[in-house]
Amino acid sequence: MSLPVITGDKEEVYEDPLDLMDEIDELKKEKDASILAHFYVDGEIQDIADFTGDSLKLARDATKVKTSTIVFSGVHFMGESAKIMNPEKRVLIPDMLAGCSLAESCPADQLGSFQEQLRAEGRSFETVAYINTSAAVKSLCDWIVTSGNAQEIIGRVPDDKEILFVPDQHLGRYLMEVTGRKMILWPGSCMVHEVFSIQDLIRAKRNNPGSKVIAHPECPQNILEITDFIGGTEKMRQHVMSVKEPTTFLVATESAMIHAFEKSAPQHNFVPVPGIMVDTGETCACNRCPHMARNTLQKVRDCLRDGTPEIVWQDYFEKARAVLDKSLL
């Protein structure tokens, strides 16, 4: 029996995930393709991927892919980065509408105007962009960072330069604290990490005595202040693997990440920290990124089979590539 299921923007007919996985395996061989999947996409997609990881690891993995086609299961800017690093390869993404609220909070034209204004004021600065930005924005920047390498890269900005950090104000504030560098912060944020509720976190701590909080630095400051370990997704994964004693971890990041934690450190118990829905003020229990959730097994199969949607090379990718190359490799 076929059941319709809703996946964001359209109805999809239910198909058995195991059949889809078999079909995807066959198509990968037939189309000479590899699948890269971000830690925030559904666990079943991570399970069929050739590479899984955070943005930094996947950007590096993209350069090691031997096949002629890459399917990037994540969001649009990640597909762009994979294409920029591999101009000769065909890069497909399962859903062209999988965007990112953080990347969208910093449009390239607005960043360009702001940089012009700073230059007109005689300010001497370098622009450091979090990797969650469009390729057009990357092409306007001096450095690209991920939550995994930001401290190291910021150390490379000469002391006599100011730093304009875009687009995540929370990550920027955290980096100011840990590096001691003053920064001009772009007022952007991630819709998922912005909604974590401090009250729910405190209640979860009370209900789980002895638990430890792990949080992504994109979370607001009030969450980070009561966090035991702050790090990007890969750093969090390494951290839970390094703890041998079975522990309950309260997880303040996108809830699909728990799949990767459970695979890497099965001795622990992982509890997602609920968030607050901005429109209703109600708490929700999942913190799913709606953009990442656009990735489904069916869409992975469809884009492999049909060869679309594809990330097509743009002129400004060249400039973005130079910035990515010096920052990530």
Q: How far apart are CA 287 and CA 18, in angstroms?
A: 26
The answer to whether residue 132 forms part of the interface with ligand SF4 (CB under 6 A) is: yes
Q: How far apart are CA 48 and CA 113, in angstroms?
A: 43
Binding footprint of ligand SF4, residue count (CB under 6 A)? 13
The answer to whether residue 171 forms part of the interface with ligand SF4 (CB under 6 A) is: no
- What is the Cα Rg of the chain in Å? 20
Contact code string over 251-280 relative to ligand SF4, x by CB under 6 A:
---x--------------------------
The answer to whether residue 100 forms part of the interface with ligand SF4 (CB under 6 A) is: yes
Contacting range for ligand SF4; rule: CB under 6 A; set: 113-121, 156-164, 185-193, 240-248:
185-193
Q: How far apart are CA 132 and CA 146, in angstroms?
A: 8
Inter-residue contact 131 to 38 (CB < 8 Å): no
| CA end-to-end span of the chain | 49
Q: How far is the CB of 100 from ligand SF4 (least distance, A)?
A: 3
Contacting range for ligand SF4; rule: CB under 6 A; set: 133-141, 172-180, 260-268, 287-295:
287-295
In the bound state with ligand SF4, the residue whose beta carbon lies nearer, of 89 and 216, is: 216
Contacting range for ligand SF4; rule: CB under 6 A; set: 114-122, 177-185, 241-249, 288-296:
288-296
Distances (CA, A) of 229 to 4, 177, 226, 238, 251: 41, 15, 9, 11, 10
Inter-residue contact 105 to 167 (CB < 8 Å): yes
Q: How far is the CB of 68 from ligand SF4 (least distance, A)?
A: 27
Q: Which residues, including other chains, have CB under 8 Å from residue 169's CB and lie 6 or more apart?
A: 185, 186, 187, 188, 189
The answer to whether residue 292 forms part of the interface with ligand SF4 (CB under 6 A) is: yes
Q: How far is the CB of 13 from ligand SF4 (least distance, A)?
A: 26
Residues of this chain that interact with ligand SF4 (CB under 6 A) are 40, 75, 100-102, 132, 190-192, 254, 289, 291-292
